[in-house]
Each structure stands twice: as structure tokens, then as C-alpha cells.
Amino acid sequence: MAPPPLVGASLTILLTSVMLRDMYNPLKDRIGQKFGKLLVVSRAPNKGEVTICNCKCDCGLMTTVRAGDLQSGNTKSCGCLVTETNTKHGHGRRGKNRTPEYCAWDSMLQRCYNKKHPNFKYYGARGIKVYPTWRQDFTAFLKSMGPRPAANYTLERINNDGNYEPSNCKWATWLQQANNKRKGNQFNHLEW
């Protein structure tokens, strides 16, 4: 049995929905257009109601992206742009690219300024502060401290009642730090 013919309001609704779909189709006439570092090369299979497109990044990688994210500017590259912008100093802010130097800097800030950090009571609550230039700029911290000499070195304040600043900080081993306690506990070796 054939469906009833579309007439009047039903036909108008159908035509309007088709026109709206075409008017708001994120990929309509987008092939060949560039969004950030991404060039739309073709349409990919939809994911449910989401329009997906295949894009080639300036770095050479192919990637699939939601068309709406391209149009809104939420996605501008295959991911290489995040790496470029976040690691100008060569030390990642997140994930596997985080270096020990960056972790030391971030942990220093958390201990001194994040009231929810478990060790805030030993640092920020005692009035320990971070040298203003270091607080604002990881690169300045790295330039002052230099790279960590070896894997068993961590950031140490020479005077435990002093601030984190160039004249009061050095890279030290766990044993050296164990001998630099506020309570004066001294160790000749660490026992596990």
C-alpha cells in the first residue's frame, strides 16, 4: 500500500525540513575549505546524527572530525597544534610529555597556593611563597634551575623556612633532602 500523497501543510513541512537540512548542513560546499590547519577532503560516515568529515592536517596526518567542531573552531588541527602551543619550552603540561622539571614546578605551585593540596599546610599555610617570576613563567624557573641532573634529584629549598626563589633552591637527592628537615632529623642512609 502506497503512502498517502503529500498535500498542503504536510508538503510544506517536508520541504521546509529539507531546505533547513541543506541550509545547515555543516559539510555542504565545505570540501576543499580550510579550518585552522585542517583541509576538508571528503565526507566520512555519520556517527548517529553527527556529520563527520575526513581532513588532512598541515602536518600531513589524516583525521576524522565532527563538522560542527570545524565550523565552531573547536577543532583546528589533528592534535599537533596543541603540542606546538603547549610546549614552546619543550616541557609538556599534560600527559606523557610532562617532564620532571615541569612536574617539580607545578608541584611547588600546588603546595604553596592550592589550599586543597594535601601538603599545603606545610608550605602555603606556613607562608612559603614562590618567586614571582617563577610563579608566572615555567621558562623562567627552568632557566634559573637548569635541567634536573639525574632521575633521583628533586627540588629542594636550602632554608626550609625560606621561599622558593633562585638563591634558596637547588636540585638535591632524597638523602640530601632527608638531612635538610625542619625538625633536624639527620640521616646517613635511607632504609626501605
Alpha carbon distance 26, 143 (integer Å): 47
Residues 76-102: b if buried by 16+ CB within 10 A, e if exposed: bbbebbeeeeeeebebeeeeeeebbbb
In DSSP terms, which residues pair with 35 in a beta bridge? 38
Gap between the Cα atoms of 88 and 37, Å rounded: 18
Give me the pLDDT at residue 153, please. 94
Reported as type and span, the H/E element at residue 8 is: helix 8-23
Task: Say what the pLDDT of residue 126 is.
Answer: 95
Q: How far apart are CA 42 and CA 1, in angstroms?
A: 39
Decide: 64 and 55 in contact? Cβ < 8 Å.
Answer: yes
| Domain extent listing, the chain | 29-86, 91-178
Q: In DSSP terms, which residues pair with 157 in a beta bridge?
A: 169
Mention every residue, 6+ apart, whose C-beta is less than 8 A from residue 49.
none
Within 62-146, where are the H helices? 67-72, 80-86, 100-113, 132-136, 138-145
> Which pLDDT value is given to residue 142?
92
Residue segments in the chain with a per-residue pLDDT below the cut of 70? 1-29, 82-97, 182-192
Strands 34-35 and 38-47: antiparallel
Q: Give the pTM.
A: 0.50
**86 vs 15, 17, 81, CA distance in Å?**
48, 43, 8
For position 61, what pLDDT does the model report?
87
User: What is the reported pLDDT for 138?
Assistant: 87
HSE-CB of 129 using CA atoms within 13 angstroms:
5
Whole-number pLDDT of residue 179: 84
At 22 the pLDDT is 46
Report yes or no: 183 and 162 within 8 Å, Cβ to Cβ: no
As a whole number of angstroms, the distance between CA 53 and CA 50 comes to 10
pLDDT confidence of residue 17: 53
